[in-house]
Structure 1
Amino acid sequence: MNKIIFISIFFVLISCATKMKDSELYGKCKMPKYACTQLKLNKNKTFEYFVFEDVGGENLSTGTWKIHNGDTLILNSYTQPSKEEIEDEKIFGAFANPKYIVNQLIILRRNKIIFIPKNKNVKIFSLKKIELNQQKWE
C-alpha cells in the first residue's frame, strides 16, 4: 500500500514539474525588419541585446546579468567603452551605440521592461515580453 501511495505521489510531482527554458526573449522583430529591439536572457546569467535600425544597421551586445531587488536586473556588457566615449556621451545619446551597456538597470513593470540608464538624462526604452507569465525575475 505504501509503495502505491509513494508511486502515485511521485508521478503527480513529476507531471506538475515545469520544464525550465534555456532563455527568455523580450521584444519582437516583425517582418520586414525596419527597426526592432530584443533582449534575450539566458539561464546561465548571460544576455544578448540586439538592436536593428533600418538605415543604422544592427548591433549586438553581450554580457552578464544579475537580479537586484526581485523586479530589477543589472546588465553588464563584456565590451566596455573607453573613458573618452563616456565623457563625450556617445554611448548615452539616446542609447545610440547599443554595443555598450554600462550597468544598465532593467525593471519589470506592468508587463513591460523599462531600461533605466546610469545617466538619467537618457531616453527610457521599453520592450514587451513575448510571453509574460510572472511578475518577478527568477
Structure 2
Amino acid sequence: MSVSELLERAREIQSSAHVPYSEYRVGAALETTDGAVFVGCNLENANFSNSLHAEEVAIAEAVKNGHRDFDRIAVSSSRRDGVTPCGMCRQTLAEFCADDLVIVCDEGDEQPTEYTLGELLPNTISEATLE
C-alpha cells in the first residue's frame, strides 16, 4: 500500500471517532509487514484518563487478530496539523513495534512528515529495562 493510501485510511476512520469533549478527531492506520491494515480512531470518555487514542485502538485490533510485525502507521487529525502519537501511544507502539517503525504524520496538502519510532521515543522503557 502506498503512503498516500495508508494516510487516506487514517483520514477516513476519523468519521467514526467519538469526540464530544475535544472535537479533535484522530485516525490511525497501522500496516503489518504482510500488508494487512488495521485502523483506529479516538474514543473520548468524560473521565479523560479512560479515553482511547487512535493508535492504541489500531494496534489493539491488529494484535487481537494475531499480528505482531509492523512496518508503519499513519496518523491524521481532522485539523491536518501534523499530529504525532502522544507519549502514551509511543510507549504502546514500542511494546509491539521495532524502533524503525515508520510514523507518517498528516500535514494536510503538504507532503506528510515521517519519523521513526526510535526518533520519537529514544531509550524507551522495555522488558529489558524492567529486569
- TM-score (norm: length of structure 1): 0.32
Determine which structure has the larger strand proportion and give its number.
1
Determine which structure has the larger helix proportion and give its number.
2
Work out which of the two has the higher radius of gyration on C-alpha atoms and give 1 or 2: 1
Select the structure with the greater relative contact order (CA < 8 A; seq sep ≥ 6): 2
